[in-house]
C-alpha cells in the first residue's frame, strides 16, 4: 500500500489523499472498503475520519481538510473483498498554509 497527499509537500488546507493498493504480484486490489483516520500527535484534536472512494482499480482517494500544521498520522483501515483486514499508518508532516 502506498499513500500520497497533494499538494505535496502537505500544507494546511484542502488536500487530496490517494491510496494505491497492490497485491504481492503488484496487481491492483479492487473492491476494498477503506477508511482514513487522521489525527495529530498531540492531544485535543478532533480527528478526521473519511471514506476512501475507489477511483480506478486499486486507487482510492478522499478529500481532506488539514486544519493544523504539524505532525499527523494518517491511518488507513479497511476490509478487503476476500475478508482480510488491513491497517497501516503513515506519518505526515504538514506545513503552515501557503500564501
Ligand atoms: Cu493539532
Domains belonging to the chain, first-starting first, are 2-94 (2.60.40.10)
User: What's the CA-to-centroid distance between 93 and ligand 1, angstroms?
Assistant: 11
User: What's the CA-to-centroid distance between 60 and ligand 1, angstroms?
Assistant: 25
User: What's the CA-to-centroid distance between 59 and ligand 1, angstroms?
Assistant: 28
Residue 99 confidence (pLDDT): 74
pLDDT category at 98 given cuts 50, 70, 90 is confident
Q: Where are the beta strands (DSSP E) in the chain?
A: 2-6, 13-20, 33-40, 48-56, 59-66, 70-79, 85-94
Bridge partners of 22, per DSSP, are 28
Q: Degrees (nearest 5) of the Cα angle 23, 32, 57?
A: 65
Which pTM value belongs to this model?
A: 0.92
* Nearest-angstrom CA–CA distance, 98 and 2: 25
Residue 94 confidence (pLDDT): 97
pLDDT tens track for 17-50: 999 999 999 999 999 999 999 999 999 999 999 9
Amino acid at each position: 500500500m502506498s499513500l500520497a497527499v497533494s499538494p505535496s509537500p502537505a500544507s494546511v488546507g484542502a488536500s487530496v489523499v490517494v491510496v494505491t493498493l497492490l497485491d504481492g504480484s503488484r496487481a491492483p486490489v479492487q473492491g476494498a472498503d477503506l477508511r482514513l483516520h487522521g489525527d495529530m500527535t498531540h492531544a485535543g484534536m478532533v480527528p478526521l475520519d473519511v471514506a476512501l472512494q475507489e477511483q480506478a482499480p486499486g486507487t482510492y482517494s478522499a478529500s481532506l481538510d488539514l486544519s493544523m500544521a504539524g505532525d499527523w498520522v494518517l491511518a488507513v483501515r479497511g476490509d478487503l473483498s476476500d475478508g482480510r483486514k488491513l491497517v497501516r499508518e503513515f506519518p505526515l508532516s504538514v506545513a503552515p498554509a501557503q500564501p
